[in-house]
Amino acid sequence: MKSLEQNALEYHSHGQPGKIAIQVTKAVGSQADLSLAYSPGVAVPCIEIHKNPAKAYEYTAKGNLVGVITNGTAVLGLGDIGALAGKPVMEGKSVLFKKFAGIDAFDIEIDETDPEKLVDIIAALHPTFGGINLEDIKAPECFFIEHHLRDRLSIPVFHDDQHGTAIVVGAGLLNAVQLTGRDITKLKVVCSGAGAAAMACLDLLLDLGVQRENIFVCDSRGVLTTNRELTKEKRAWAQNTDAKTMSDVMHMADMFLGVSGPGLLKQDDVKKMAAKPIVFALANPEPELRPELVREVAPDAIVATGRSDYPNQINNALCFPYLFRAALDSAATNINQPMKLACVEALAAMARSDEHFGRDYIVPTLLDKRLLTGVTPKIATAAHESGVARKHLNEEEYRAQLEALAKTLL
C-alpha cells in the first residue's frame, strides 16, 4: 500500500505537472477570431478601458480573477520554507477558488521578505486582479502588509490565514455556545497562540460578544501580561495578572482556542475547564490535544480541529471562496467586518439547519452543496448595506445566478 507521501507526489506529478492551467474562453479558430483576440481588434477595448478604468471588469477577466500571493514565510505547518516551496499550496488554493466558487486565480510566489518592498510589489500588480488573497506570510509582517495594501488599493485584500480561520472559528463557537447553553458575554476563553490567526480570531470573538477581560492569551513564553515586554499586537491582549503559564489560567475556562503547536494542551488542563468544555485544537497537522484524549477526561466536550479525519473541521475553504465571490460580483472595494460577520452567521445557520447538527457537527462540511448559494448572497447583501459594494445585487436574483453557476463547477 502506497504511503500518503507517495500518493501526494504522484498526484502532483502525474500527466501535466502541477494542479492548474489557463483556459481560453473565446473562439480562436479563424483569422477573424484572431484579429479580434489580438491585433488589431484588441486595441478597441484597450481604448475603452483607458477612457474608463471600470470597463476592465467588462472587457477583461479582472472581475473574476484573484491573486493568491505569498512569500513562503509561514507555509501551512511547515514554516519558513520559501516562496518556491510554497507554490504547491498556492496552486491548491487556486484549485479551491475554482472548484467551490468558479473564481479564476493566479498563484504568485514572491521572493521577498522585506514587508515594505513586498507591499510595493503587490500594489504594483493590482491592475491584473479583482481581489488579492494573501497567504502564508508570517506574523507580525502580515499585519503590516495587509494594512498597507488595504489602505492603498480599491480592491479586496484578504489575509486568509487570519480572517478565514477567524470566520469559521466564530461560526463554530456560536453553535457550541448554543449547544452548551452558555451566555457568550460570560465566556472565559484561553487562547494558545498569539500569531496572525490568533489575533484575528480574538478580534472576531469580541464582535460576537466575548468580553476582552475574559480572554487570556498565551504565547511561547506564557500568559500575555501587563508586566511583559510585548509587541503592539500582543499588548492589546495583556491581562493584569500574576499567572505565568497556560495551566495557571485554565481554571473554569469555557473555551480553549489553540492556534499554536502540537501537544501544548494537556489532559490536566482540560480537567480544570468548566463542564461541557469547548476545545478548538487547531494546530495542523497535529492538534494541541487530539479529540479522543480530550474526550477521555471530558466526555461531554465539543471538540474541533483543523483535520479532515475528525468531526468539526475548522477549514478556511468554508468561507474564502464565497467571500471573494460576493466581493467580486458586488464590485466591493474591500472585504470588511460586516461581510465577515455575515459569513459567520450564514455558516452557523447552515449547520443548525442540517439534520446532523450537534456536538460533532457545528460547522458545515467542505463539500456541502449549499455553501455557494446559501452563504454568498448574505455576504453580498452585507457589502451593500455597509457601503463598500459598487454594484447592488438583489439577494434572491443573485442566489438564482449562483445556482446556475453551481451546475457548471467541477
Interior CA angle at 353 toward 349 and 359, to 5°?
85
Residue 1 confidence (pLDDT): 84
Nearest to 282 by CA among 305, 263, 301: 305
Alpha helices in 353-408 (DSSP H): 371-385, 395-406
Catalytic pick among 11, 26, 38, 188: 38
Q: Is 175 annotated as a binding residue?
A: no
Predicted local distance difference test score (pLDDT) of residue 4: 87
Say what the pLDDT of residue 410 is: 64
Query: Can you name the residues that pair with 305 across neighbouring β-strands?
Result: 281, 313
- C-alpha 158/C-alpha 319 separation (Å) is 12
Name the burial class of residue 65, with classes exposed (0-12), middle (13-18) and buried (19+) by CB atoms within 10 angstroms of its CB.
Answer: middle
Q: Is 312 annotated as a binding residue?
A: no
Residue 315, annotated as binding a ligand: yes
Check 19, 51, 57, 93 and give the catalytic one. 93
Q: What pLDDT does 76 receive?
A: 81
Q: Show the low-confidence residues of the chain (pLDDT under 50).
A: none
Q: Is 322 a catalytic residue?
A: no
Q: Is 227 annotated as a binding residue?
A: no
Which region, left, alpha or beta, applies to residue 82 given φ > 0 means left and ψ of -120 to 50 means alpha? left
What domains are there in the chain, each with its CATH number? 31-155 (3.40.50.10380), 164-305 (3.40.50.720), 316-407 (no CATH)
**Cell 508586566 sits at which residue?**
227
Is 38 among the catalytic positions?
A: yes
